[in-house]
Amino acid sequence: MHKILIINGPNLNLLGNREKDIYGDQSLEEIEEISKKKSKKLNIKLNFCQSNSESEIIELIQSVQKTYDGLIINPAAYTHTSVAILDALRAINKPKIEIHLSNIYVREDYRKTSITASGVDGSICGFGYLSYILAIEALNSLLNNNK
């Protein structure tokens, strides 16, 4: 059984109440529930967390090397600003996928650049909560092909 971690960045704890036209109606708890159901079907043990703290996110990323088989991360606003998170992503050699609920490439200019994307194997954005499901499926494929 593969073990994966999903890390959610700042302000994602406000989903369901925050800018529903951009981020959708689902709360982070609902997305977690949907993600865990999908993971269970794929025989994946999923840990799901959220932090508003850059240092906590970095420590979670660093834990992947020893504790998990892969990582899915929604860095949220840190996507566009955090070289420290990029460095942490580059320091682990496990499959990693970056996700976003919204399509960052059709938003404000400052959101169109993902600093963190060069530290992951691939990115999925613009599909709302389905970005999580697609990432779980993609990570599962990466892990199964690496056997």
Model confidence, pTM: 0.92
- List residues with catalytic annotation: 23, 100
**Long-range contacts, stretch 120-127, CB < 8 angstroms, 24+ apart:** 120/73, 120/89, 120/96, 121/95, 121/96, 121/97, 122/97, 122/98, 123/97, 123/98, 123/99, 124/97, 124/98, 124/99, 124/100, 125/99, 125/100, 125/101, 126/100, 126/101, 126/102, 127/101
Rounded Cα distance between 19 and 86, Å, is 27
Encode pLDDT of 83-114 as tens digits.
999 999 999 999 999 999 988 887 777 777 89
**Residue range 2-145 in CATH 3.40.50.9100:** yes
Give the residue carrying structure tokens 């200019």.
Answer: 109
- Say yes or no to pLDDT of 19 above 80: no
Mean pLDDT score, 116-144: 96
pLDDT at 108: 78
Give the domain ranges of the chain: 2-145
Please choose, from the candidates 20, 43, 48, 45, the residue with its C-alpha nearest in 3D space to the C-alpha of residue 33.
48
Encode pLDDT of 45-70 as tens digits.
999 999 999 999 999 999 999 999 99
Residue 34's CB is within 10 A of a number of other CB atoms, namely 16
∠ Cα 52 54 58 (to 5°): 125
Mean pLDDT score, 1-12: 96
pLDDT at 55: 97
pLDDT at 14: 83
Torsion of CA 20, 24, 26, 28, to 10 degrees: -90
